[in-house]
Structure 1
Amino acid sequence: MILVVDVGNTNIVLGVYKNSEIISSWRISTDAKKTSDEYSIQFMQLFIQGNLKPDDIKGIIISSVVPNIMHSLENMIKKIFGINPLVVGPGVKTGINIKYDNPKEVGADRIVNAVAAHEKYRKDLIIIDFGTATTFCALTKDANYLGGCITPGIRISSDALFDRAAKLPRVELEVPKNIICKNTVSSMQAGIIYGYIGQVEYIVNKIKKEMKDLGAAEPLVIATGGLANLIANETNFIDKVDSSLTLEGLRIIYEKNKE
């Protein structure tokens, strides 16, 4: 079995794979202030909940966009599992050709998503990851990572509205029935949700045009991340939601590097 760990700004997502099948997964809050001992307790509780033992794990891979958490996590992993984890970064085999000006600048999460999407779909792709930030990535069927763009995530955008507008209440991210609303809460929900959908559709259109100008076919649009379904259910610009994309990418990269 292998343990895959995706460290995001808001959540850490964990998965345990037996061969190519995921048998357990969890989502916990990211907290850079936690010590390795505190993470040890949390991980052990999750393993007990999943009827798993640390000795069951023979390999571990981590992708992270939060550098200041890595010292605690790596120390915890070495203490509990007795394994030096593989960390996604420069020098790790991915099978993806990164066409960025400086490939080292591409976030590990974007690379991992690209690896999984290429292995699963083998098409020209646009990958949207709805996380703390929302990332849009363009990938060709020949595994060329062309680049993309990054926007504030929908929660960041809505939090800014609540924090900066003193008279506006904090609201749940729910889709209202109408765009013409008759109360403040629904009006805010409509503006946040439908405004974000409009942003997504515009960016997808622009990326599609640039990819076609480069000779790509009509790309398949894949969405992942915690808020993917919220947006995908309200637009026909997203072809498929793949919630397991990041964990699958970590498993695939581990297999490519396990020797």
Structure 2
Amino acid sequence: MLLAVDVGNSNISVGVFRFTDARMPVIVCHFKFGTHNYTPDELCATIDGFLRRFDAMQLHAAVVSSVVPQMTAAVCAAAESLCGTKPFVISSGIRTGFGIHVKNPEQLGTDIVSNVAAALTLTAAPLVVLDMGTATTISVVDTEKTILGAIIIPGLQLSLRTLCDTAAQLGEIPLAEKPELIGRDTRTAISSGVLNGNALMIDGFIRNIREALGTKESGTSLSLFATGGSYPAVEPLLRNRFTYSDTLTLFGEAILFAQNNKIF
């Protein structure tokens, strides 16, 4: 079994995978918990506690993706304790199976690399991956299976929290589900601004990306994938339809592990 750990700014996601004879990862269980300044022992105990709930089988290897550098060493140490071997860390220079055409490839987020690896395993390019976490990231891959770059926007919850923390009279505002366009009180007005605003922004970016890639004129299909905890809140408001998976990043990590290591 492979242990996959994705360290994000808000959450640490963990998954356990087995591999088919065709080297395709299949997720056995997954869970997440808040990102804090854990020690290796604390991380090991937390992950082991969750794994015992799922009755996970013996772990043979681990893969780690982290966008929080100060947490990477602790997570790797915990993964090594759990698996008995040093984890494979997603980083620049590994085999990916696709091109990366950005100014500083070594600065490209490992979550973006993992998401694209997952999406390209599931469908053909060109494609877009929408990741709605602490930040909202839209990654673009052209017909040649090359990452052209990304669009990064403050995340939905981050934007809402910043507004509520900054405006003196707001306090905490719970979002309304599927809000009307024109809010009739503070809660519904903010809900419309945050949810409808994000949906309109995403649809607008997808329209402009299609124009930039020339897919509309050529008739080429643009595949759309989504992940991240905030996506379900905006999904009903989107005109574009995305294939959603809350374990897309973990699946991509497992794919990259298989491309760079011998499968046990």
Amino acid at match of 2:14: L
| 2:39 maps to 1:35 | yes
For the 8 Å contact 1:175–1:190, the answer to whether it is kept is no
Which of structure 1's runs of 4+ aligned residues deviate more than 3 A?
213-216
Does the 8 A contact of 2:165 with 2:171 survive in 1?
Answer: no
Q: Give the count of matched residue pairs.
A: 256
CA RMSD of aligned residues (A): 1.8
C-alpha separation between the residues in 1 aligned to 2:56 and 2:245? 26
Q: Which residue identity is paired with 2:199?
A: I
In the other structure, the counterpart of 2:229 is: 226
Specify the alignment match of 1:15 in structure 2.
15
Q: Which is worse superposed, 91-100 or 233-242? A: 233-242
**Which of 129, 132, 135 is residue 134 of structure 2 equivalent to?**
132
Q: State how far apart, in whole Å, the 2-side matches of 1:122 and 1:176 are.
A: 32
Please say if residues 232 and 241 of structure 1, whose CA atoms lie closer than 8 Å, have aligned partners that are also in contact: no
Q: Which residue of 1 aligns with 2:196?
A: 194
CA distance in structure 2 between the aligned counterparts of 1:249 and 1:78, rounded to whole angstroms: 20
Distance 1:119 1:186, change over 3 A: same
Distance 1:128 1:70 in 2: 24
Pair 1:2-2:2 in alignment = yes
- Name which of 211, 214, 222 aligns with 1:212: 214
Distance 2:219 2:93 in 1: 28
How much does 1:244 deviate? 2.6
Give how far 1:216 is off.
8.5
Task: Report the CA distance between 1:96 and its aligned residue.
Answer: 1.5
In structure 2, what is the equivalent of residue 247 of structure 1?
250
Q: Conserved in 1, the CA contact under 8 Å of 2:3 and 2:62?
A: yes
The answer to whether the aligner puts 1:83 opposite 2:88 as a matched pair is no
Residues in 2 aligned to 1:192 and 1:128: alpha-carbon distance in whole angstroms: 17
- SS of 2:175's equivalent in the other structure is coil
Structure 2: how far apart are the matches of 1:189 and 1:176? Answer: 8
Amino acid at match of 1:36: P
SS in 2 for 1:233: helix
Distance across 2 between alignment mates of 1:245 and 1:76: 23
Determine if contact 1:212/1:218 at 8 Å carries over to the other structure: no
Match of 2:51? 47
Structure 1 runs not aligned, ≥5 long: none
Question: Alpha-carbon deviations, 1:181-203, whole Å to 9, x = none?
Answer: 22211111111111111211222
Quote the residue 1:171 is aligned against: 173
TM-score for both structures, normalised by structure 2: 0.91
Does the 8 Å contact 1:3/1:15 carry over to 2?
A: yes
- SS at structure 1 position matched to 2:237: coil
Q: Distance in 1 between matches of 2:138 and 2:197?
A: 17
Unaligned runs of 5+ in 2: 20-24
The one-letter code matched in structure 2 to 1:238 is R
Residue aligning to 1:236: 239
- Return the offset for 1:215: 7.0
Q: Percent same amino acid among aligned pairs?
A: 27
For 1:142-157, what aligned pairs fall within 5 Å after superposition?
A: 142-157=144-159
